[in-house]
Amino acid sequence: MRDEDVPAWWRELGLPGLVDVHVHFMPDALMNAVWRYFDNAADRFGGAPWPINYRSSEAERVATLDRLGVRAFTAMVYPHKPGMAESLSRWAREFSARTPACVPSGTFFPEPSARRYVAEAIDAGTGVFKAHLQVGAYDPRDALLEPVWGMLAEAGLPVVVHCGSGPESGAFTGPGPFGDVLAAHPRLTAVIAHLGAPEYLEHIALAERYPNVHLDTTMVGTPYLDRLAPLDTDVLARLGELGHKVVLGSDFPNIPYAYAEQLDALERFDLGDDWLRAVCWHNGRRLLRLA
């Protein structure tokens, strides 16, 4: 499948488009820094280069999503040190205000001000949050985040959490640390990014155990990720059973291949058209509370 084939693909499923819960838009300086990181990442990712397939201006990236038929998407921002999260969340809300298809997005970091600025973000209409445990290198069980998890659980707002150990591990990645957060906040609406790669089964178990835990498809099943964290038949079978909890994610624009490869991978799972319709449209709309 090529990108130009994507609209015909979702039309054949009877859908009006796609909902993508894992898209990145950031201030230009930060996005350029992220791209430089991937430019130099081949030695960390099994020797394979990671070229940014959609390295273009902000306006061009928004137009690309529109051509693909992505009717709703997020602006996942994330800090790597204290003092960044509040301004990033403010930027993401401003981006959403000028980009109708983007759901207002936010983030946080374990710092004394987190309780305040997350509450303000919720009051300002933020619809989804991002937590990146590998890049942020923080313990999600930090006492400074306890009120944040509690507020998000109470509000029922989704938080997309990169807690898997791929493509690079960190001190607090893996199912254990975030699993402890879920044990303390069992009603938290969480989306485990990348299906928790490479610890697929352990993270699927969290989605089976907790009523509001979802899984996103970001990079899962693509040839690039299959080199590092291949799927097995047990993973696919359990994904089929959890079809109501799986949502489309892509990592656009920071992917080393065409957007269409993600959809092609999902189709190769051979879990049926109803599963594809739920993952690519219905589940995301429900999760993000879209009208």
Cβ-count burial of 36 within 10 angstroms (0-12 exposed, 13-18 middle, 19+ buried)? exposed
Element (H, E) at 65: helix 58-68
Q: Which residue has the higher pLDDT, 40 or 116?
A: 116
> What sign has the CA pseudo-torsion 83, 84, 88, 89?
negative
Average pLDDT (3-10) is: 98
| pLDDT tens, residue by residue, 19-52 | 999 999 999 999 999 999 999 877 777 778 899 9
Phi, psi of 74 (to 5 degrees): -105, 170
Average pLDDT (82-93) is: 98
Compute the distance between CA of residue 82 and CA of residue 105 in angstroms, rounded to an integer.
Answer: 18
pLDDT surpasses 90 at 168: no
Compute the distance between CA of residue 49 and CA of residue 207 in angstroms, rounded to an integer.
Answer: 32
Mean pLDDT check: name the lowest of 38-47, 57-66, 138-147, 254-263: 38-47
Chosen CATH of 3-287 out of 3.30.540.10, 3.40.50.10470, 3.20.20.140, 1.10.600.10: 3.20.20.140
Cβ-count burial of 272 within 10 angstroms (0-12 exposed, 13-18 middle, 19+ buried)? exposed
pLDDT for 253 equals 98
pLDDT for 41 equals 79
pLDDT for 116 equals 98
Residue ranges per structural domain of the chain: 3-287
The residue written with tokens 């970001």 in the block is: 218
**Other residues' Cβ atoms within 10 Å of the Cβ of residue 261:** 21
| pLDDT tens, residue by residue, 267-291 | 999 999 999 999 999 999 999 999 8
Q: Give the pLDDT band of residue 18 (cuts 50, 70, 90).
A: very high
